[in-house]
Amino acid sequence: MNWILLTPELTLLLAAALFLVLACLKPDPRRDYQLAVTMAAFSVAAATACATMSGDLFNHVYRVDLFSQVFKALLAIGFFLVIFLCDDFQGVAPSHHGEGYFLLAVCTLSMMMLASAVHLLAIVLALELSSYSLYILVFLRRECRWGMITGLRYFLVGASASAIMLFGLAMIYGVTGAVHIDILIQRLPAMMGHPMAVTGLLLTLAGFFFKLAVFPFHFWAPEAYQGAPNQVAAFIAAVSKVAAVAILLRMLSMAQGNSDLLARGLIAMAVISMTVGNLAAIAQRDFKRLMAFSSVAHAGYLLLGMLCMTPAGYTAAMFYGAAVLIMKYTCFMVMTRVADDGRNLQIDELAGLHRRSPLLALALMMALFSLAGIPPTIGFVGKLMIFVAAMQKGYLVLVLVAMANVVVSLYYYLLVLKAAYLDEPAQVLPSISLTMPARLVAVAMIALIVGLGFYPTTLLDLVQAAVLRLP
């Protein structure tokens, strides 16, 4: 077996082992953070270096191709960025910092496995490993009673979603007699007129919709975001969505657009997710809850691209998934720097941000404009690609609904920017001091948001080539 193909995974496994050792030693937050950043940087380098490698492992259970490698690189980058925010891991006791890094590494590793898994059992194992890591990460905010309650709810709802998914997989196996995706792609499309096949696929997708926070599987998101440590909430909002997009693209490719019932179900979910997410976000005053409902709405946009079940739709969804990683991370980066004591940030507390830190205010503005789809940003390009793919499929009404939701989202994003640029704080607040690395990351995020809006060709070509590797 060619173990070099597993370099990104092995790097994260080594990182997890080191973090586990740290958790057993005397706490030293500075030492732990420096090691975590170093290992996260190594994981990015490993994922990038192996981007062109391909092959099947473990008796064709694990597939390494450009599709999975692109997602692994995105996951590694997201892992590094979240670890970077942990320089002041407030909200988590110093004695638990090692555990936090360990769980973040394990979760990222399992998401990488999820991107390469082409066997139903391997998919289930990777998904459950990532899920249980996230459940425990939410619990790490132990001084906050709300965090304990939301962590427990998150676990119970997640376990229920897993049970539904397993039942759906059992139905798919009962109909097709296959567990390998390559065989399922050959057998399942011809059986999409069979009620059990459609039901099994819908129940299976429901488990993955839970990860993506698609309506009606979204209700865990606001409470989990609010109760989790700020850095963990950033990981859930930005990084976990990338893995969800990866596995959903693989699963939907099995249907190959041969079921009208499946398409109608996905259309309903996309419309309601966009609408409910955006309308609920208007009433939020907690920044993390607003981001949670925003994620529900963006899950609808992602699903809109996927339900086209065409290469153009898959390309648009994959591109927008990468955009969501950049945009959501930037928002949470600003939040963690403003609420540097680990508290939940209220929108009113952003008042006067443009004077306290012009760079953070600019980063927040560009991220929110991108989330709203304002040109020239990466979010605009992603939404445009999704809408074009849907129009080509004949979903004109659906595109109009999505555009109406874009207008609604612009309203509450502008409310946040109003607080940051126009509102006056209730009291005089000190300037926010940023280290040079923090400044560089903020500038890099702004450059990516705007640069990929002006010139998306490089990323788009990579995504298109990756989609062609889908089974």
Q: 159-189 pLDDT, tens per residue?
A: 888 888 888 888 888 887 778 877 877 777 7
Cα-based distances in Å from 79 to 84, 281, 434: 9, 27, 21
Question: Which residues of the chain register pLDDT less than 70?
Answer: 1, 142-148, 192-193, 254-262, 342, 471
CA–CA gap between residue 226 and residue 288 (Å, rounded)? 6
Query: What is the predicted pLDDT for the residue at 364?
Result: 93
DSSP letters of 257-295?
T--HHHHHHHHHHHHHHHHHHHHHHHT--BHHHHHHHHH
Element (H, E) at 189: none
Tokens 């500038």 map to which residue? 443
| Cα maximum dimension of the chain | 67
CA angle 337–341–344, rounded 5-degree value: 80
pLDDT of residue 261: 62
Task: Decide: 350 and 367 in contact? Cβ < 8 Å.
Answer: no
pLDDT of the residue at 384: 92
Q: Where are the beta strands (DSSP E) in 4-146?
A: 55-57, 62-64
Each domain of the chain, given as residue ranges in start order, spans 3-467
pLDDT at 147: 58
| Structure token digits, residue 258 | 């041969």
- Residue 53, SS3? coil
- Provide the token pair at 83: 């670890």
Closest of 320, 316, 304 to residue 242, by C-alpha: 320
Answer whether 318's CB lies under 8 Å from 249's CB: yes
Note the pLDDT tens digit of each residue in 362-371.
999 999 999 9
Instruction: Provide CB contacts within 8 A for 105, sequence distance 6+.
Output: 12, 15, 16, 19, 39, 79
> CB of 406 within 8 A of CB of 383?
yes
pTM score: 0.90
Burial 373-410 (b: 16+ CB within 10 A, else e): bbebbbbbbbbebbbbbbeebebeebbebbeebbebbb
d(CA 329, CA 323) in angstroms, rounded, equals: 10
Selection from 468, 467, 455, 10 nearest residue 245 by Cα:
467
Q: What is the pLDDT of residue 1?
A: 55
Looking at residue 330, its pLDDT comes to 93
- Both structure tokens of 302: 């992602």
Tell me what pLDDT residue 80 has. 92
CA-based radius of gyration for the chain: 21
Are the beta carbons of 265 and 205 closer than 8 angstroms? no
Return the pLDDT at 146: 60
Beta strands (DSSP E) in 16-135 are 55-57, 62-64
Q: Which residues contact 138 (CB under 8 A, 6 or more apart)?
A: 147, 150, 151, 154, 224, 227, 228, 232
User: What integer pLDDT is reported at residue 450 of this predicted model?
Assistant: 93
Report the pLDDT value the prediction gives residue 381, as an integer from 0 to 100.
92
pLDDT at 268: 81
* pLDDT at 323 (0 to 100): 92
